[in-house]
Amino acid sequence: MTLIKSISGIRGTIGGKISDNLTPVDAVKFAAAYGTFIKQRNSDKKDIKVVIGRDARISGKMISSLVANTLVGLGINVIDLGLSTTPTVEVAVPLEKAEGGIILTASHNPKQWNALKLLNEKGEFLNGEEGQVILELAESEAITFTEVDDLGTYSKDKTYVEKHIQEVLNLDLVDVDAIKKANFKVVVDAVNSTGGIFIPALLKELNVECVELYCTPNGQFPHNPEPLKEHLTDISELVVKEKADFGIVVDPDVDRLALVSEDGSMFGEEYTLVACADYVLGKLGGGNTVSNLSSSRALRDVTEKHGGTYTASAVGEVNVVIKMKETNTVIGGEGNGGIIYPASHYGRDSLVGVALFLSHLANKKISCKELRDSYPSYFMSKNKIQLTPQIDVDKILATMAANYANEDVNTIDGVKIDFADEWIHLRKSNTEPIIRIYTEAKSQEAADNLAVRFIEEIKAIIA
């Protein structure tokens, strides 16, 4: 059992001992720290609002209730969206003119996990400095609850399915008419979480026939909820059986989007962003893009094809957003299927991704597989090397950077080395003594071989 505290929130498994797991006590302590932080930065305001929402996992109702009542005890007014999505809460915070938001979800983690994801008044994730303040507050005695006459209020708002969908449909580049005329048929795997509410509702508004697979929001995940190829055999088979145009897969909190082509093959999580960026850049006549260092080179290729500039950020959604704002990016995100479209909001949003992808396919008038085949083809390998706690990982990474100083080396997050036809990214884990190794090349064999080569070089350094 595990409890992980980080600048982005608190995440852990349900049950067990306090401070070792995500117990009710830990949920209250961390919610109280966040609420205190929000009150401190809004000390001039009388009425402070925080929006909360949760995915459908089994522990969600319990954790949500604990968080909501803790905030009320701090004198904060809580707006509870109930069963919701990460992007929906992000959209709701500024619409409600709230001072913050909390999403109760462990994203792609299995059902025994839950987490508190923390937002600022813009509906964006807190930065590292803000997250550190909350971590320190959670361990301090500096939290004071209000007296009875100053308790906050609690209210429910179930209108955000419609509100979020309308926000998506109102986006200039979402071609509602073209999508409706295309008469698409798709299969949706929402892993029995809240995507089973939101994605079919969006598709209905777009006149898309929706075949639902695992769309009952009961938190009983029928397969590993991370939308990777090895977990998606059921939807691959059903897309072919139903003669659907493609399949849509979302994770439990609906901020990652994977697609399945009409022949049952994976479109590829990395290529969700590539396709949406291709559409947006084509419509705008160019523009800048951002993804993290571990994302596919295909986004760079597509961006440059449209005359734009691609920039890589450190890994992590907060880092991607910061770099997007710095470079005036029109679309960005992460290679895990996370689409960030600033015309909507600065957060990964599968509803936006679905709408942009449908628009692209409707305008292109080609099949999903044909669209995938039109992009540069790259293959990834993801590995790790286990080290002993005594080994200085930073020194190893510095040595690797020095050894390849004549290549294109980026050290903003670990060490990424770009070769002509392939790249490798070495990252230090913050929680265990390992180096994560990501490679990409023009064949799976080449990507695997590059990883093996660097694993051997690292072993030689520590021998």
Q: CA-CA distance, 166 to 250, in Å (whole number)?
A: 20
The CA distances from residue 44 to 38, 48, 147, 154, 235, in Å, are 11, 10, 19, 21, 52
**E-assigned strands of 268-348?**
288-292, 310-313, 329-334, 338-340
Q: How far is Cα 124 from Cα 322, in angstroms, rounded to an integer?
A: 11
Q: Are 276 and 331 in contact (CB under 8 A)?
A: yes
Candidate list 107, 193, 261, 296, residue with the active-site label: 107
Query: With contact defined as beta carbons under 8 Å apart, do 265 and 369 qualify?
Result: yes
Burial string for 446-455 (b: 16+ CB within 10 Å, else e) reads bbbebbeebe
Report helix, strand or coil for 434: strand
In sequence order, the 6+-apart residues with CB closer than 8 A to the CB of 162 are 201
Rg (CA), the chain: 22
266 secondary structure, DSSP code: B
N- to C-terminal Cα separation, the chain = 33
Give the contacts of 317 (CB within 8 A, at least 6 positions apart). 125, 334, 338, 340, 347, 348
* 107 included as an active-site residue: yes
Strand partners, 187: 211, 247
DSSP string of 67-93, one letter each residue: HHHHHHHTT-EEEEEEE--HHHHHHHH
Would you give the DSSP letter of residue 107?
T
The CA distance from 186 to 212, in Å, is 9
CA distances from 1 to 6, 12, 60, 266 (A): 17, 8, 18, 33
Helix (H, G, I), strand (E, B) or coil at 203: helix
Give the active site residues: 107
